[in-house]
Amino acid sequence: MIDRGKKNILGINVSAIDYEGAVAAIVKAAKKRQPLKVSALAVHGVMTGVLDREHRWRLNDFDMVTPDGQPVRWALNLLYGISLPERVYGPELTLKVCEEAARQGLPVYLYGSQDVVLEHLQQRLLEKFPDLIIAGSRPSLFRRSSDEEKLAIADEIRTSGARIVLVGLGCPRQEVWVYEYANLLSVPALAVGAAFDFHAGLLSTAPPVLQARGLEWLYRLVQEPRRLWRRYVLLNPAFLAMLFAQFIRLTSFEDRGTEPESSSNFA
């Protein structure tokens, strides 16, 4: 098990951790009914914090930010000599958490996306893990919630008996949601992004050979060029340029960000 704490990547504190360490921390918090803010960030996720000082604060307030993309893992290894053997990919972490939750009888709650996705996701998760307890699910409102709605959503999740909440709202909305809801829920909340669509069978994952070479972005760009071209064509080169600057110690990216002045109430 590897857990070497957080390391600064372009001002975002990323956890130098493997799957075993991540699952262990999540399950421990679930058993103790303690809040734990978790996200798995690829290059795009890191850059959302680099470019937005309030969001940088949110991400740096997370208890665990796993290196979802190979380039983020490579950055950890390059800057800190960690020799992390593999990334901690959000969709795979989701399955590993569900497997352990099923084994230990820890109910999970699914929040986000649409009803049709949640239906397929629940069916497939139960086929894969028959002992998994799904305490409930709720689709995204696809708008900002009122303070009353936010408290009602949190109360619904708490009273469901869930010990782990999986959140699929897309980056960065899901990280905002986890930041704002985790302490209300008093259980681990995991921002897992496209894991919902992948495991519901509605979106295909990149072939392993592309994933291993850090080219999953190219596969997704071909799938959804209109939606994703700005994300990859603009942000990937910016990430590499800034990483080089950090590597040669041109800058240390020590700015933690600015605490958000008010709640965003994403739902």
- Residue 49: predicted pLDDT: 97
49 within domain boundaries: yes
- Residue 228: predicted pLDDT: 72
| CB-based burial, 167-194: b 16+ in 10 Å, e otherwise | bbbbbbbbbbbbbbbbebbbbbbbbbbb
Domain that holds residue 133: 10-199
Q: Extract the residue ranges of the chain whose pLDDT is less than 50.
A: none
58 within domain boundaries: yes
- Residue 163: predicted pLDDT: 98
205 within domain boundaries: no
190 within domain boundaries: yes
Query: How many structural domains does the chain have?
Result: 1
- Residue 96: predicted pLDDT: 98
221 within domain boundaries: no
- Residue 207: predicted pLDDT: 80
74 within domain boundaries: yes
Residue 126 contacts residue 133 (beta carbons within 8 Å): no
- Residue 231: predicted pLDDT: 76
67 within domain boundaries: yes
224 within domain boundaries: no
- Residue 266: predicted pLDDT: 66
